[in-house]
Amino acid sequence: MPDPRWGGRAVPVEGGVLLVGGEDEAGPSDVVQFFSAQDGSWQERHPLPYPLRDFAVVSFGGQIYIMGGRTAMDSATSKVLIYSPEVDSFCFAPFELPMKMYGMEAQLVGEKVYIFGGLVDSIYIPRGYIVDLNDFSVDSSDLNVERSYFGSALSQQGSDTSIYLTGGLWYDYLSSVERFDPAEQTWSGYFELPEPRAYHVSIIHGDTLMVIGGEIEGQVTSSVLFSVLDGPWYPFPPMFYSRAGLM
C-alpha cells in the first residue's frame, strides 16, 4: 500500500481492488485508491466526501454502498454513500441507516442488505437491520449476540445461503461464532473460535470459512484459522506479519 492505513474497506471491482477510507496517523481518512491486478500499480480515485472509518460496505448493481461509520472527531454518521467506479464519483443514497452507527458488518443477499451489530454512542446495538435496495425500506431483525468489530462472511452453497459472524467485541473479546439463515430469519450455533479475537477478517472460499489476523486479548496476531463449513477449527499457516484492523 502507498501509506499505512487501517479500519477501511477493500472492495473487489473490475480489474482490481478498491481501498476506501480508514484511518492513518492523522486520523480518519478520505483517501480512495485502486489497486490494479493487471500491473500491480496504485491509482488515486476521487476522495470520499468526508473522512470515514469503521463503516460497512456492499456492492450492488455495479455500485458500492458505504454505510455509516465514524468521521473526523470520532463522530458517527447514519448517512449512506454510493460510489460509481465507472465514473469515479460519489453521491448520497436516498436512505439513511436507522441510527448513527459504526463497527458493524453488512452482507448482500439478493437485493437486501443485512446489517449486523455495531455501536451507537459506544453502546452495543441489540438489533440487526435489513435494507431493501428496491424501495429502500428498512426492517429490523433479531441479533443473538451483540458485537462490534467482528468478521462476517457470506456462504452460498447451491440453494442454501448463510451468513457467518465470527468473534468481535462485547465489552471483551468474543470467541462465539454464529450462523444466520436469511430465508428463515433464524440463528444457529457454530464451533467457537479457539481464542477470542476481534478486528479480523472472515472470508468464505468454496466450502471453507477462514478467519485471518486481528487481535487476540489485545495482541495483534498473524494467525489464520480455517473450518470446513459446519466443522471444527484448524490452524492455517500464519501470515508473514501480524495484522489487525484489516480491510
Closest CA to 29 of 58, 11, 59, 55: 55
Residue 199 sits in a domain of what CATH number?
Answer: 2.40.128
In a domain, residue 203? The reply is: yes
Q: What is the pLDDT of residue 159?
A: 84
Please list the rounded mean pLDDT of every run of 10 residues in the chain (247 residues).
90 95 92 95 97 97 97 92 96 96 97 97 94 94 93 92 97 96 92 95 95 94 93 94 86
In a domain, residue 73? The reply is: no
In a domain, residue 195? The reply is: yes
CA distance 7 to 28: 9
Residue 50 is placed in which grid cell?
468526508
Dump the DSSP string for 62-92.
TEEEEE--B-GGG-B---EEEEETTTTEEEE
Q: What is the pLDDT of residue 2?
A: 84
In a domain, residue 157? The reply is: yes
Tell me which residue range forms the domain holding 206.
150-247
In a domain, residue 240? The reply is: yes
In a domain, residue 95? The reply is: no
Closest CA to 172 of 117, 234, 215: 215
In a domain, residue 96? The reply is: no
Q: Is the pTM of this model over 0.75?
A: yes
Q: What is the pLDDT of residue 198?
A: 97
In a domain, residue 16? The reply is: no
Domains identified in the chain, total number: 1
